[in-house]
Amino acid sequence: MAKFYDPSDIHSLDKRQIFFDANILLYIFWPTGSSWEKQYSAIFKQLLEQKNKMVVDFIVISEVVNRAVRIEYDKHLQANNISRDNLTFKKYRDGSDGQEALNVVYQIVKKNVVRKFNIAGKAFTKSDIENFLCVDSLDFSDKGIAAICKENSFILLTNDKDFADSDLEILTSNRRLLKKR
């Protein structure tokens, strides 16, 4: 069963390493008007001030880059009154606007994630992969994140309720998760 921390518990986590889920990085660095952005930006600020080691991995960076480019694609469609039928994601991504957006995303990731976060890694074994191939509340990449967090005793900072039944320590502002306390 997961152990949950809310933002008021951050002071008690001062020596702990915090693993950021992709949704948190997106709230912080690609605001889209969600009510979560302010809350997770405040948590990020507290963790920086408290000098917690912040951690991500390749899976999270990949999810962030891919989702951020999709966000930029959606903004482009809306700003230019274009339908998805008239401009597919791949055409956008391969065109000059998409390449420019991808470059901006890469620069933000480099400046705000790669330079401020530790990068964790794990060589997954055949056995790990076979264990991931079961139907439960976590998607495939979340299973990899959970494995990394468990192996390294990281606290997972997430807003994803799919982790509610995991065996992790979780820092969140999500009341649905905190109800599980």
- Note the pLDDT of residue 172: 97
CB atoms closer than 10 angstroms to residue 54: 18
- Note the pLDDT of residue 132: 85
Please check whether residue 170 is in contact with residue 163, taking contact to mean a CB–CB distance below 8 angstroms: yes
Rounded CA-CA distance 181/164 in Å is 10
CA atoms within 13 A on the CB side of 95: 10
- Note the pLDDT of residue 154: 98
3-state helix, strand, coil in the chain (%, to 5): 60, 10, 30
Instruction: Write out pLDDT tens, residues 61-112.
Output: 999 999 999 999 999 999 999 999 999 999 999 999 999 999 999 999 999 9
- Note the pLDDT of residue 135: 75
Q: Angle 22-29/58-79 helices, nearest 10 degrees?
A: 40
Higher pLDDT, 123 or 86: 86
Q: In the structure, what pLDDT confidence band is assigned to residue 134 with cuts at 50, 70 and 90?
A: confident
Domains of the chain as residue ranges with CATH: 3-59+110-178 (3.40.50.1010)
- Note the pLDDT of residue 65: 98
- Note the pLDDT of residue 50: 97
Helix (H) or strand (E) holding 84: none
Please check whether residue 40 is in contact with residue 173, taking contact to mean a CB–CB distance below 8 angstroms: yes
When the pLDDT of each residue in the chain is averaged and rounded to a whole number, the result is 94
- Note the pLDDT of residue 181: 66
- Whether the model clears a pTM of 0.85, i.e. scores above it, the answer is yes
